[in-house]
Amino acid sequence: MTAFPLNPNVSCGRDPKSGEFRQFSSPTPGRANTTYSYPLTQSVGADPLTPLYISEALCVSDNEGEFDRDYVELHNAGAKAVSLDGYTLAKSREGNRYAFPDVTLAAGEYLIVYCVGDTRDGKSELTAPFKLNQGGEELYLFDGGGRILDVMRTGPQTYGHSSGRVPGRTHQVFVFETPTPGRSNDGVAVYEGYAPAPMFSSEGGYVKAGFALSCDAPADCEIHVTTDGTLPDRSSGRWQTDKPLVIEQNAVVSAVAYRDGCLPSRVTTATFLTETPHTIPVVSVSSPPDGLFSRETGILSKAVNQLVPGKANYLSDEKREATFEYFIDGQKAVSFRCGLKMAGDYSRRFPQKGMAVIMSERYGVNACYFPFFGAYSPSKTESLLLRPSGQDWLRAHLRDEFCSRIVRASAADDSGVHCDYQEAQPVALYINGEYWGLYYIREKLNEDYLVNRYGYTKGHIDIIKWEGSVQSGSLTEWKALLDFCADNDMQDEANYRYVCDRVDVDSLIDWWVFETYVGNDDTGNVRCCRDRNGGKWHWMLFDLDDAFHLSYYRVNYIKKYAMGPTHGLAGCRNTLIRRMLTNPDFRDRFIRRYLYHINTTFDPERLGGLLDELQSEIDPEMSRQYERWGKPSSGFYTYNINAMHRIIKAKPAIARRHLREAFGLTEEKLAVYEKDVAK
């Protein structure tokens, strides 16, 4: 049950008749809950003490939607104007208070305070330094002397709804299907709250054909159900809850409750699989089929329609609302509503496509605290990728994910790879109950990643992609740095120090060492970032689908890309690394770091063990993957894995030769470097 603020001498518990959680007017500790009860969303407190009161609040906002910020609305129902100078607003008696400026609220007037969590919002003068919780808030209005003038309990909300008072009935809080910021709530449709959500007898997972699913719901509720990912409504089939729903094949069961005087409940969803269990975790994604597969609006469809004029639907960045469920050994570990959109660039053209899972209050949760990656999980997760190994999906189906494990394993060394990377967890994906193949849950390299990993402040981060486009923040400082390098001699100590003061040199070097060693021809996949609060630029590794590939592992990418005029398929500028390599100290440092990584990070025995480990996890899944998509065949998959093992063993000698060729080193000079690095 969601935590809920209560009036004094009021308890909260499960009603023995309906089974739902309600408020009880007289607590009964140690006894049955037999006293009068009423919905969680109802407040039976007294009327406001003054004509100035809190009239409405919206707790669920979305930066992209119509309701882009939480807000609290005040109303002066009196006949005289009221100066708010010295008045304060807070979420609790002792909480952080917002102090009103010297503004006057005229008789009959409404006033909006946006609750943004950051007073640097810049959109409105009246911005409180806190946000509102969708699970319910207790809002306090204080006068200049600190006296409580009003208290309003918002109750839980869903996106697009608000709660507040209606003139003449200010003792009770209602839910409004249509928010009315800045104007009267009189005359709008009001509801007591939301119907209680249906409760299934099983959370889902693996079941045998013929499994009987029961639904528990109050007698005064009407339950409607679907089994194909479609969101249920009154037009969906009616579930007679005295009869079980029999599951004969894979199904996504979704149910909604209706009750007179209430808005519909949240949708309860559970996925049931009647087939042979997988050896890896299962992700089930369910969403209305038309929004995924139809020619008109399906984001997974290859049809050329209006989502992206003149291009295939799958190139669209439109979102679809979905339910995400995660099962381990058939047991549901986590489930939440989310947004779903296409991910990847060229790889979108493959039949098996990547998708981004987006968490937001709009859908129901703005973060998940489940450890998808075990001990390597961030403190919280706000977005995920479902990636079928990008362009490697038809070959080894693990190259990029293997590279992530290399970086992770290097952390055990005193000087590992100083680059960010994406964790990866192999999963079997189902969409609306249909098997969709082998995927990997991946982290997204975005602002949330940096906030959760390093404590950066969101909105104060620069992330650069493709060397010349901004993912977050601004390009200004990055362009200035590249221009400085292009226009100044890096052999000059002052110029060199200027760059070192702004760049994490080990991260820059390690990114180039890693990319050139694994033979990634697609080095245009560049991400670097910095904390604007004095942080240095550091690099992120991603999209290494060409790593340890027979076509590229013998190419000297140090000479071709790090020292050439551009690098990668995107034709990116390599100004920074190329100019820095003209400095003798940096060049010496680069060579030493390269040799260090050859001997430790890329040790063939270590890499062979990591590859075997990942292969053993996905091997049992590959026959189903091939049956679903026809790629990769067992023979081609095995061929690619074996080729990777051969490259891993051969690459150290090749990499040493590349170093000699790129920097004009004799074998004797390289041997001196090797000896120094080994000390």
Model confidence pLDDT, tens digit, residues 357-373: 999 999 999 999 999 99
CA separation for the pair 113, 222 (Å, rounded): 38
Q: Are residues 328 and 390 in the same domain?
A: yes
Q: What is the mean pLDDT of the chain?
A: 91
pTM attached to this predicted model: 0.90
Q: In which element (H, E) is residue 114 found? A: strand 110-115
Q: Are residues 228 and 266 in the same domain?
A: yes
CA separation for the pair 169, 182 (Å, rounded): 19
Assigned domain for 613 exists: no
Assigned domain for 44 exists: no
Q: Are residues 19 and 91 in the same domain?
A: no
Contacts for 232 with CB less than 8 Å, ≥ 6 apart? 224, 225, 226, 254, 255, 256, 267
Q: What CATH number does residue 240 fall under?
A: 2.60.40.10
| Under 8 Å between Cβ of 276 and 270 | no
**Residues recorded for the chain:** 679
Whether 38 shows a pLDDT value over 70: the answer reads: no
Q: Are residues 6 and 81 in the same domain?
A: no
Assigned domain for 609 exists: no
| Under 8 Å between Cβ of 471 and 530 | no
Last residue of a domain, one of 275, 301, 325: 275
Q: Are residues 224 and 168 in the same domain?
A: no
Joined tokens for residue 214: 């029961």
CA separation for the pair 514, 252 (Å, rounded): 43
What confidence score (pLDDT) does residue 177 get? 93
**DSSP assignment letter at 375:** G
Q: What CATH number does residue 95 fall under?
A: 2.60.40.1260
What pLDDT digit, counting tens, does each position of 122-178 carry? 556 799 999 999 999 999 999 999 999 999 999 999 999 999 999 888 888 999 999
- For the chain, how long is the longest CA-to-CA vector? 94
**Number of structural domains in the chain:** 5
What confidence score (pLDDT) does residue 415 get? 82
What pLDDT digit, counting tens, does each position of 175-193 carry? 999 999 999 988 889 999 9
Whether 44 shows a pLDDT value over 60: the answer reads: no
pLDDT > 90 fraction of the chain, expressed in percent and rounded: 80
Q: Are residues 99 and 7 in the same domain?
A: no
Q: Are residues 572 and 514 in the same domain?
A: yes
Q: In which element (H, E) is residue 645 found? A: helix 634-663
Q: Are residues 305 and 414 in the same domain?
A: yes
Last residue of a domain, one of 249, 275, 301: 275
Q: Are residues 433 and 582 in the same domain?
A: no
Whether 511 shows a pLDDT value over 50: the answer reads: yes
What pLDDT digit, counting tens, does each position of 61-116 carry? 987 767 889 999 999 999 999 999 999 999 988 888 999 999 999 999 999 999 98
What confidence score (pLDDT) does residue 67 get? 83
What pLDDT digit, counting tens, does each position of 434-477 carry? 999 999 999 999 999 999 999 999 899 999 998 889 999 999 99
What confidence score (pLDDT) does residue 43 get? 47
Report the candidate in 468, 462, 443, 469 with the shortest Cα–Cα distance to residue 503.
462
| Opening angle at CA 296, ends 292 and 301, nearest 5 | 45
What confidence score (pLDDT) does residue 45 get? 44
pLDDT > 70 fraction of the chain, expressed in percent and rounded: 93
CA distances from 15 to 24, 35, 42, 54 (A): 9, 9, 15, 30
| Under 8 Å between Cβ of 39 and 195 | no
- Taking residues 199-212, report their average pLDDT: 97
Q: Are residues 427 and 468 in the same domain?
A: no
Assigned domain for 410 exists: yes
CA separation for the pair 365, 370 (Å, rounded): 13
Assigned domain for 606 exists: no
Q: Are residues 399 and 538 in the same domain?
A: no
Q: Which of 65-74, 197-206, 403-412 has the lowest mean pLDDT?
A: 65-74
320-353 per-residue burial string, b: 16 or more CB within 10 A, e: under 16: bbbbbbbbeeeebebbbbbbbebbbeebbebebb
CA separation for the pair 70, 59 (Å, rounded): 5
| Opening angle at CA 488, ends 486 and 491, nearest 5 | 115
State the residue range of the domain holding 371: 276-444
pLDDT band at 117 (very low <50, low <70, confident <90, very high): confident
- Taking residues 530-542, report their average pLDDT: 96
What pLDDT digit, counting tens, does each position of 288-324 carry? 999 999 999 999 999 997 788 889 999 999 999 999 9
Strands 222-226, 237-238: pairing is antiparallel
| Under 8 Å between Cβ of 2 and 365 | no
- Taking residues 402-415, report their average pLDDT: 91
Assigned domain for 619 exists: no
609-615 long-range CB contacts below 8 Å, 24 or more apart? 610/402, 610/405, 610/406, 610/409, 611/402, 611/641, 611/644, 611/645, 611/648, 613/405, 614/398, 614/401, 614/402, 614/405, 614/426, 615/398, 615/641
Last residue of a domain, one of 410, 444, 478: 444
- Taking residues 473-483, report their average pLDDT: 96
Q: Are residues 183 and 252 in the same domain?
A: no
**What residues are paired with 76 via a beta bridge?**
52
Assigned domain for 104 exists: yes
